[in-house]
Amino acid sequence: MSVELPFETLPARFQEGAQCIANALNRCNRVVVSGHINADGDSVASLAAAGLILCALGKEYALYSSTGIPDYLSFIPATVCTSLKSLPFAPRSALILDCCDIGRLSAELAACLPKLSSVNVDHHLGGEGLGNLANWVQPESAATAQLMAYVALACHLPLEGRLADAVALGIVSDTGGFCHSTTDEHVFRLATHLAAGGCNIPQLREKLEARWSVGQMRLWARLMRRSLLLRNASVIFCAVRLRDFRECGATKEDMEGFVEQLRRLRGVKVAALLREEKPSLCKFSLRSFGATNVQAAAASLNGGGHRNAAGGTLRLALPQARISLLAAIMRRLDSEEARN
C-alpha cells in the first residue's frame, strides 16, 4: 500500500525549485548527467535518479563520472561513461548534480560546460549554481537525491522501483542513516513514502555497511590508534599517509565513513581527517554536531559543504596542510566561543 505524497503539499520552496528544473529538463536533449569527481552515495544516487527521470521523459542521455562509481556502491544499477569521448552522442545539454563548484567537476566536463545548455541541482552551501538554463541550490535539503525526488514528482512520475531505491540511497548516505541535523520532517515524510511503496531501506543500509574488507579493518585500526585529541579533547584529528593504504592493503574508498566514527567520541566538537592524496596535495574532511559550523572553517580554506559536514583540498605537503587545517579549526572554535 502506497502513501501518497502529493506535489501540492510540498513546501513552496520545493515546489518552485522542482517545477523550474522539470520545465528546464523538458527543453533539454542529448543530456550528459554528471556529479562531482570522486562520487559518493548522494552523487551516485542523484545520477541514477536523474537517468530514470530523463528516460521517462523520452530524452537521450548518458551518465558520466570521470572517476567511475566506487566499488561499495556497485550494487546500484547505473552505467556511467568515464570519458566524454565515449558518450553515444555529442552532448547539447548538461545536468550537473550535487555540485555547484566548477572545481569539483572533471576538467574534461568543466572545459566544455560553457558550450552546453546546463541545469544544476545541488544542496551544498557556497554557490548559486553552474547552470545557464536553470539552477536549484537548496542547502536546507538533506541530499540532492531528495531534490531529485521532488523533480520526479513535478514530472508526474511515481517514486517507486529503481527510482525509489536511488532516492533512498542518497538520503541514507547524506543523512548518515537519518542522524544528521538536516534530517527534518520532510526527509522522514519522503522516506515513509518510499518505504510504503516497497523500498527496503534496512536492506539498503545493510548493503552500504556490510562491505568491509580485511584491508579496511587494518587501516581503521591503525588510524584509530593514531588519532589525536586536541584543544581539551574538543577536537579529534587524524592524518592519513599514502603509505598507509599500501601497508594495510586498503584503498581510498575504505576511508568512507571514518571521520563520522571519530565524531562519535564523547565531548568532541570537531572531527578532522586529513588525507595525503599526493606528496603536495591533501584532502580534508570535517564533521561536527549541532551549532559548531565546520563549513565556515572549510570555506576559509576554499572548501565547502554544510554546517556539520564539510571538506576541501589543500595544495600542501602533509605537515604544512596539518598546520593550516588545525589553525582554521581553532580560529572557528575561538570565534564561536567568543560570541557565546
Task: State pLDDT tens for residues 41-62.
Answer: 999 999 999 999 999 999 999 9
Domain range for 95: 7-209
For residues 158 and 256, membership in a common domain is answered with no
For range 88-104, the mean pLDDT: 94
CA angle 290, 130, 93 (to 5 degrees): 135
Only one residue has cell 511503496, namely 197
pLDDT band of residue 326 (cuts 50, 70, 90) is very high
Is 182 in the same domain as 204?
yes
How do residues 280-291 score in pLDDT, each as one tens digit?
Answer: 999 999 999 888
Residue length, the chain?
340
Q: Measured between alpha carbons, how far apart are the two ends of the chain, in Å?
A: 49
What is the mean predicted confidence (pLDDT) over 107-128?
92
Half-sphere exposure of 129 (CA within 13 A, CB side): 21
Last residue of a domain, one of 166, 194, 209: 209
117 in a structural domain:
yes
Give yes or no: residues 75 and 33 share one domain.
yes
Q: Which of 154, 178, 209 is the last residue of a domain?
A: 209
Does residue 65 lie in a domain region? yes
Q: Report the C-alpha gap between 170 and 259 in whole angstroms.
A: 19
pTM for this prediction: 0.86
**Residue that finishes a domain, picked among 177, 209, 241:** 209
Residues 22 and 142 in one domain: yes
Mean pLDDT of 192-220: 91
Q: 216 or 304: which carries more pLDDT confidence? A: 216
For 326, half-sphere exposure in the C-beta direction (CA atoms, 13 angstrom radius) is 16
Q: Is the pLDDT of residue 126 over 80?
A: no
Q: Identify whether residues 96 and 226 lie together within a single domain.
A: no
Check if the beta carbon of residue 30 is closer than 8 Å to that of residue 60: yes
pLDDT tens track for 135-188: 999 998 999 999 999 999 999 999 999 999 999 999 999 998 888 878 999 999
3-state SS class at 62: strand
pLDDT exceeds cutoff 80 at 3: no
Sign of the torsion formed by the C-alpha atoms of 186, 99, 35 and 177: negative
Whole-number pLDDT of residue 77: 85
- Number of domains comprising the chain: 2
CATH assignment at residue 138: 3.90.1640.10
Same domain? 197 vs 222: no
Residue 173, domain member (yes or no): yes
Residues 27 and 73 in one domain: yes
Rounded to 10 degrees, the C-alpha dihedral 260/261/267/273 comes to -60
| Spatial distance between the Cα atoms of 340 and 54, rounded to a whole number of angstroms | 49
- In a domain, residue 125? The reply is yes
Structural domain includes residue 2: no
With 50 as the cut, is the pLDDT of residue 1 above it? no
pLDDT for residue 4? 65
Query: What's the chain's Rg over C-alpha atoms?
Result: 20
131 shares its domain with 46: yes
Q: State whether 248 and 164 are in the same domain.
A: no
Same domain, 150 and 272: no
The pLDDT of residue 209 = 84
Q: Are residues 135 and 231 in the same domain?
A: no
Residue 239: its pLDDT value, please? 98
pLDDT band of residue 243 (cuts 50, 70, 90) is very high
Residue 67: count of CB within 10 angstroms of its CB: 13
Structure-block grid coordinates of residue 295: 563549513
305 forms beta bridges with 125, 310
**5-11 average pLDDT score:** 86
Whether residues 202 and 267 fall in one domain = no
**Domain CATH code at residue 335:** 3.10.310.30
